[in-house]
Chain A
Amino acid sequence: MSLKLRGQTSLELMFLFMVIVGGVLLVAKIYYPSDTGVSITYQLKSAAQDACTFLNEGVVVNDTVHAPLDRVIELNNYSSLNCAVSGVSVNTTSTSINAVVYITYSSRLNATLVSGAVRDYLVARLSRVNGFALRNGVLYFRGYLVSLGVVVK
């Protein structure tokens, strides 16, 4: 009796687990888009803060990711930009993510130059993070198209 029945029970248990896990996945899927929003907000915020840290440090780092910031640092005579991230706004729709990063700085440098440089850095930096992909110069996150903007306040 023992051996055959034990195998049977375990098979039933596996089916049961399958049903339970399937149910959990079904429920979890509803919350997935909001999780995408939270995740990209966090990634954007930390990357933007890194961009500001580099601008404030005033040290040029010669590689592809930091190249956009290097021009700003050189034009600012290697001194601090007093850059800070004042906010991140993320709007998730069914196909795309609209993200805006707000930064402040005090320097005589042109706002479009700085915001463009920070945006280029963010794209280069995020495209190396797991979950992000860069196709034809457009950033995607988990299949969502990301339209990224940097605004100087």
Chain B
Amino acid sequence: MRGQISLDLLFAVMLVSLTVIGLVGWGMNQAGETTTMGKAAQLKVLAVDVRDSVAKVYASGPGFTVIKELPFQLKTGEWVNITLYKNQTLLVRAELGGKEYRVVERLQVPVGVTSSVLLLPGNETFQITAVRLNTGGVGVVVET
């Protein structure tokens, strides 16, 4: 009798585990793509935020600084690289969760010089500062 019961139980366990494995597999499939999408959205928001901040800092004039913090936590091995280019473009590159992301935004103001900042885990704040250029104009730089 005992043997019989355990056989029934075995069948039941098998059926339940098959269902669970199927559901977990399907769920993981959906989750992977959604995570990538979420990270991409966060980077886009960051890029747009930096772009707008650069315009504000430029308008405020030399000496004005805005301190920014990454809107998300970096894990070990992840990094975010923000670069302002002389030709009025902003590039945000990042490696999050083993995938590399890249966003480019057109800046609304001329920044004058190329500057770059690399954000690593535990070092997630950066500054956007307006400076006086050698040519006499106003420039904007990013720095840690």
Contact = CB atoms under 8 A, between A and B. Distances in A.
Nearest to B105: A78
Interface in B103-123: 103-106
A57 B30 CA distance: 18
Given A6-B1, A63-B99, A130-B25, A53 B37 contact: yes
Nearest to B106: A77
Contacts of B26: 130
A58 B44 contact: yes
Contacts of A57: 37, 40-41, 44
A78 B99 contact: no
Given A57-B44, A62-B99, A63-B99, A77 B104 contact: yes
Nearest to A78: B104
Nearest to A70: B102
A61 B36 contact: yes
B40 A61 contact: yes
B101 A62 contact: yes
Interface string A30-71: 000000000000000010001001100111111100100000
Nearest to A46: B30
Interface residues on chain B, size class: 20 to 34
Contacts of A78: 103-105
Interface in B35-85: 36-37, 40-41, 43-44
A63 B102 CA distance: 12
A50 B103 contact: no
B4 interface: yes
A61 B103 contact: no
Interface of A: 6, 10, 46, 50, 53-54, 57-63, 66, 77-78, 125, 128-130
23 contacts: A6-B1, A10-B4, A46-B30, A50-B37, A54-B37, A57-B44, A59-B40, A59-B41, A59-B44, A59-B101, A59-B102, A59-B103, A60-B102, A60-B103, A61-B40, A61-B100, A61-B101, A63-B100, A77-B104, A77-B106, A125-B33, A129-B29, A130-B25
